[in-house]
Chain A
Amino acid sequence: MQEYSYAQALNQGICEEMRRDEKVMVLGEDVGKYGGVFGVTRGLYDEFGGDRVRDCPLNEAAIVSFGIGLAIAGRPTICELEFMDFLTWAMDPVTNQAPKLRYFWGGQVSVPLVVRAPVAATLGFGSQHSQSLEAWLIHVPGLRVAMPSNGFDAKGLIKTAIRDPNPVVFIESISLYSNKTPIPDAEYLIPFGKAEIKRQGDDVTIVALGAMVPKAILAAEALSNDGLSVEVIDPRTLAPLDINTIVESVRKTGRLVIAHLAHKTGGVGAEIAQQVTELAFDSLDGPVVRVASADVPVGASQFLEKMLFPDVPEIIKACRSFRR
């Protein structure tokens, strides 16, 4: 099987869906001839033209609002935000409009919208280009939230996202864009709400999000040399969240670590920990441990960033904290 990068895999997924459905559109800044700031839309302009792959002015609120309008009018639309941090400009369309129109208009519209939100954490971009804001989004009913951790999943999930008649925020990890994974020639889709056990284990469960998944796998490999058997679960989508797979694993291991790059307070880890507490409290040997960023803004200095973002050693430490 040929290998492709995460960015190429996304590109393939979008391209295939645009070929399948001539209504599918791409809106964003520099997504046209330039091919996207990270190259994810490369070649789409040449194949599908400027009507369907539209360069937009720098106005995220209008980009997503126009995307919603197109979606309502029967054109599934992918809006690219260059960095997830720019979501703040688009919070009204993403949270007040896209996920609510169908509800408050009594089911009269569907909103097949995908908002792509790349996270640049750990790449030295500083406070306004490094945030993982997924927790804001899972709080909003009516939104779906996907967060793939590798190219294979990214391709299968973006295709599902584009076909979903509902609004999806698709969170990508820029730090993984160049990572290669084998991608089959045959078409495949990955359903939402289905976690994947990336590595089997019996002693500790790690639920890792996005760019923390490969780090969790490295940590698990290191720990296996110590005789600690670690299971790594990638939820792949946060809304819907496949809590059952997580709970089943916790029933086996009794120990849960949740790892994400987002800040600790009010992060997705808190929600997963609480759901596990509600569903499998009796199975837990001890408190759920969160591996997350401290509640401080992201500093641009390599040193500050390294201190802030959790990495393999922090995950290893968290897994060992259960050992008596």
Chain B
Amino acid sequence: MTLSTAQQIEALRRMYLIRFFEDAAIRLYGEGLYRGSTHPYIGQEATAIGVCTALEAHDQILATYRGHGAAIAKGGDLKGMMAELLGKATGVCKGKGGSMHFAQNNVGFVGSNAIVAGHIGIAGGIALAHKLDKSGKVVAVFFGDGASCEGVFYEALNMATLWKLPMLFVCENNEYAISTHYTESISVPFIAQRAHGFGLPGVTIDGRDFYAVYNTTREAADRARRGDGPTLIEAKSVRWMRHSAVAAGAEKGERWKDTDPLPRLKQELLTRGILYEDDILEIERAALHEIRDAADYAIASEYPVAADLFTDIFT
């Protein structure tokens, strides 16, 4: 199936939504409207959007604590997510998850996880269930370059390949695990090379190129659906910001903005004659409004009540 015009326009719209959502998340954090931390996805948007555009609506994804982008890419509810960020009862997780634990099952966003690599095996189990159920569904799991150093990643890679699970391992290599550059922690130049020792395909792509991510994911998802097993996709991008809203340390910041996936997709849509400048401005404006509405909704929402502390522990 080829990428439709509507899908490309929607990809741009979602890219704006992620960008503005993260801008709002950083601003609201700065204003003291929520505590803890938040991990912006700015600069990496094309990866989640490319993957989720290539997946079917009923496919599922699991993401990391830097997971707002994945949630939005999969079609998550903006108001519910913004409210979740602020710890409100109207949040997608009733305020119990916060920035690092977004989840929205009804759009296939199983959820975010804040233990680095802790979700990779869980994704494998879900993929195994799909295989046994012959559901035809694929599970994509996002994780970072840092997570690729955790033991459970290799355990899951081995099991998923051994059992030919309908699964995509999407390594979002944004170069840094907090302060450590991946070349200082990873023994091979490309994380995709890890696949060679496990007997699955591994491919390194430009994670800022929506089309490259889409095409690669499409192929990997088809392969997974055919029963041929998982693929390891290393999507390289650049994390513009610091690790989190609270992390210290000097990083390159502004200089990295020439790697922005957003103008790149915009230009592509203009070149392909899919959109005109005015159309793009309209999409941008509408996205900004949507995010503002979500922020207003979140701010106006109520906090959980004391009794909520004791619910959702056991079924």
Contact = CB atoms under 8 A, between A and B. Distances in A.
Contacts of B315: 102, 110, 165-166
Contacts of A66: 121-122, 124-125, 128, 156, 159
Nearest to B135: A73
A214 to B, nearest CB: 31
A104 B101 contact: yes
Contacts of A74: 129
B206 to A, nearest CB: 30
A96 B159 contact: no
19 contacts: A51-B132, A57-B155, A57-B158, A59-B152, A59-B159, A61-B151, A62-B121, A64-B121, A65-B156, A68-B125, A69-B121, A72-B125, A72-B126, A75-B132, A103-B312, A106-B93, A106-B94, A106-B96, A109-B110
Given A61-B155, A62-B152, A72-B110, A108 B122 contact: no
A104 B93 contact: yes
Given A103-B312, A141-B313, A165-B315, A69 B152 contact: no
Given A65-B125, A68-B121, 14 more contacts: A61-B152, A64-B121, A65-B118, A65-B152, A69-B127, A70-B126, A72-B125, A92-B118, A93-B121, A96-B115, A108-B111, A109-B103, A109-B105, A109-B111
A65 B113 CA distance: 13
Contacts of B103: 105-106, 108-109
A97 B122 contact: yes
Given A51-B132, A106-B96, A65 B121 contact: yes
Interface in B88-128: 91-98, 101, 103-105, 110-111, 113, 115, 118-128
Contacts of B119: 97
Contact-size category for B: 35 or more
B68 to A, nearest CB: 15
Contact of B129 (A56, A69, A103, A105): A69
B311 interface: yes
Contacts of B91: 106
B247 interface: no
A59 B91 CA distance: 36
Lowest 8 CB-CB distances: which A-B pairs, in order?
A: A69-B125, A65-B121, A106-B93, A73-B129, A62-B155, A59-B155, A66-B125, A165-B315
Contacts of B94: 106-107
B121 A61 contact: yes
A44 interface: no
A83 B98 CA distance: 36
A189 interface: no
Interface string B152-193: 100110110010000000000000000000000000000000
Interface in A34-64: 51, 56-57, 59, 61-62, 64
B121 A103 contact: no
B177 to A, nearest CB: 17
A92 B115 contact: yes
A103 B314 CA distance: 8
The winner among A105, A110, A165 for most chain B CB atoms within 10 A is A105
A58 to B, nearest CB: 9
Nearest to A101: B111
Contacts of B96: 103-106
Contacts of A108: 93, 103-105, 111
A67 B156 CA distance: 12
A105 B101 contact: yes
A75 B127 CA distance: 12
A142 interface: yes
Interface of B: 91-98, 101, 103-105, 110-111, 113, 115, 118-130, 132-133, 151-152, 155-156, 158-159, 162, 311-315
A71 interface: yes
Contacts of A104: 93, 96-98, 101
Contacts of A166: 314-315
The winner among B96, B119, B124, B125 for most chain A CB atoms within 10 A is B125
Nearest to B163: A54
Interface in A257-288: none
A68 B129 CA distance: 11
Nearest to A107: B312
A64 B159 CA distance: 12
Given A73-B130, A97-B122, A102 B152 contact: no
Contacts of A64: 121
Contacts of A142: 313-314
B120 A105 contact: no
A67 B118 contact: no
Contact of A70 (B101, B110, B128): B128
B106 to A, nearest CB: 9
Given A75-B132, A107-B311, A62 B105 contact: no
A97 B113 CA distance: 9
A103 B313 contact: yes
A69 B159 contact: no
Contacts of A75: 129, 132
Contacts of A96: 115, 118
Nearest to B309: A103
Contacts of A70: 125-126, 128-129
Nearest to B95: A106
A64 B113 CA distance: 16
B111 A67 contact: no
Given A92-B115, A92-B152, A96-B115, A73 B125 contact: yes
